[in-house]
Amino acid sequence: MKRFSGWTSVLAVTAIICGGALAAEPVTPKGFRAIFNGKDLTGWHGDNPHQTAKAPAEEKKAAIEAQQAEFLAHWSVDNGELVNDGHGPYATTDEEYGDIDFLIDYKTVAKADSGIYLRGAPQVQIWDYTEEGGKWDRNADKGSGGLFNNRANTPGQLPLVLADRPFGEWNQFRIRQIGSRTWVYLNDKLVVENAIMENYWDKDRKKPLPARGPIHLQTHGGEIRWRNIAVRDIPGEEANEILRGDDEAQGFTSLFNGKDLTGWTGALDSYEVIDGTLRCKEGAGSVLFTEEEYGDFVARIEFKLPPGGNNGLAIRYPGKGQASTVGMTEIQILDDTAEKYAKLDPRQYNGSVYGMIPAHRGYLRPVGEWNYEEVTVKGSKIKVELNGTVIVDGDVSQVTEFKDDTEHPGKDRTTGYFGLTGHKDPVEFRNIAIKRLD
């Protein structure tokens, strides 16, 4: 998605007029595409999101446009490097990104403080890590690469190791972002591993990062140079594989062998196995559920929706009745983009704890692609993570208002079966696994 494309030619011409020196083409590994050409500011504009992120939508464009003169005054291209003097709005990509691998080199000076914003949110930190930098009280001694704006003591907030090189040397980042999950390598050392990057713009940190957003290169207090800036879009299939990892090594047990319905009971006639996937037959319904019961658990599953598709996950199901009410709940699986669902109760959309807790929307992959979901059930608490983003983190014991004032007598169940709640659509499933927590 391109934004502010009208500025590109203006920025490019101005950069050349300002005397930016040219150099060799950026180094771009196979599979990546350069997003800084080493010659001019094509593809970039200025935006300090602290001035614009919370602006009303109708005012945001004007607020960004007002920053362009200052952007050009403080950013330049020199010897194939993108250079900032420590002032001005942040260099911001015209393009917005979702799941990516991101490469960038940087070189900075003593006492500078910078960072990289992902999907428009702060930030992967860049520090003066020395004692002379004067910020050891803010954990600068731990080094760069941490998710600085995460809450204290949350995973990723501090880097795992100190990996910075001395001033005057180039540092290299490789950053992977899948959903809200972040991996950061600094100079080939892992400094953040599979940590949720919190949404700084939400003061309660309950709303996740947006599904897409720009990259900002922060300016703050000293010259910083950037080069070899490149991205690679991560396809859904690869993202799912990364998010899942190794089920067996992590203590998960497979619930579906890819061949038949061994280990399942209930609506056996409503499902079929085709090419290693479990599919609800079109026009069929009712609940297919496991032969074993579970209390606290983490379930992993991949699902693919047809247009308008509807299904769900039965949680602590008693073996008969409507899963969403007589069981603890049903976690909705739904094509949110279908016009026929445009006016549903918010507690009916994909990922919701049906009729009780609404999910954050906008994190499904396009219809026809595989989605990866993890559902954690512990006591009365339920967390739903879809494609790397937590879309529900709630407690059914605290729910007092229900869709259509319908009672949910099963919501306080402590054990039951895990299942699939067919709703007559050919929704497909694969890689179903579960780990007991009790």
Q: Tell whether 47 and 172 lie within a shared domain.
A: yes
Q: Tell whether 214 and 298 lie within a shared domain.
A: no
Q: Please, which residues have CB within 8 angstroms of residue 329's CB and are 6 or more apart in sequence?
A: 315, 316, 323, 353, 354, 355, 356, 382, 396, 408, 410, 411
Q: What is the DSSP letter of 326?
A: H
Residue 363 neighbours by CB distance under 10 Å: 24
The whole-number pLDDT of residue 25 equals 73
92 assigned to some structural domain: yes
CATH number at residue 426: 2.60.120.560
The whole-number pLDDT of residue 3 equals 37
Q: Tell whether 178 and 272 lie within a shared domain.
A: no
The whole-number pLDDT of residue 406 equals 92
Helices then strands, counting H and E runs in the chain, come out as 6, 26
Please count the structural domains in the chain: 2
113 assigned to some structural domain: yes
Place of tokens 């947006």: 210
Boundary of a domain, candidates 177, 200, 234: 234
Q: Tell whether 169 and 265 lie within a shared domain.
A: no
C-alpha span between 190 and 245 (Å, rounded)? 17
Q: Tell whether 266 and 126 lie within a shared domain.
A: no
CB of 301 closer than 8 Å to CB of 277: no
Q: Tell whether 259 and 230 lie within a shared domain.
A: no
Q: Tell whether 79 and 209 lie within a shared domain.
A: yes
In order along its 438 residues, the chain shows pLDDT tens digits of 333 333 333 334 333 333 333 455 788 999 999 999 999 999 999 999 998 977 888 999 999 999 999 999 999 999 999 999 999 999 999 999 999 999 999 999 998 889 999 999 999 999 999 999 889 999 999 999 999 999 999 999 999 999 999 988 999 999 999 999 999 999 999 999 999 999 999 999 999 999 999 999 998 888 999 999 999 999 999 999 999 999 999 999 999 999 999 999 999 999 999 999 999 999 998 999 999 999 999 999 999 999 999 999 999 999 999 999 999 999 999 999 999 999 999 999 999 999 999 999 999 999 999 999 999 999 999 999 999 999 999 999 999 999 999 989 999 999 999 999 999 999 999 999 999 998
291 assigned to some structural domain: yes
The whole-number pLDDT of residue 220 equals 83
Boundary of a domain, candidates 234, 260, 280: 234
End-to-end CA distance of the chain: 45
Q: Tell whether 163 and 262 lie within a shared domain.
A: no
239 assigned to some structural domain: no
Alpha carbon separation from 219 to 17, 120, 182, 280 (Å, rounded): 22, 14, 22, 53
Residue 59, domain extent? 5-234
22 assigned to some structural domain: yes
Boundary of a domain, candidates 234, 255, 289: 234
240 assigned to some structural domain: no
The whole-number pLDDT of residue 30 equals 94
Whether residue 125 is preceded by a cis peptide bond, meaning omega within 30 degrees of 0, is no
Q: Tell whether 321 and 178 lie within a shared domain.
A: no
63 assigned to some structural domain: yes
The whole-number pLDDT of residue 94 equals 98
Q: Tell whether 213 and 279 lie within a shared domain.
A: no
Q: Please, which residues have CB within 8 angstroms of residue 210's CB and are 6 or more apart in sequence?
A: 119, 120, 121, 199, 362
**Structure confidence by residue, pLDDT tens digits, 120-133:** 999 999 999 999 98
65 assigned to some structural domain: yes
Q: Tell whether 429 and 282 lie within a shared domain.
A: yes
**Mode of pairing for the β-strands spanning 428-436 and 277-280:** antiparallel
C-alpha span between 161 and 159 (Å, rounded)? 5
Q: Tell whether 114 and 141 lie within a shared domain.
A: yes
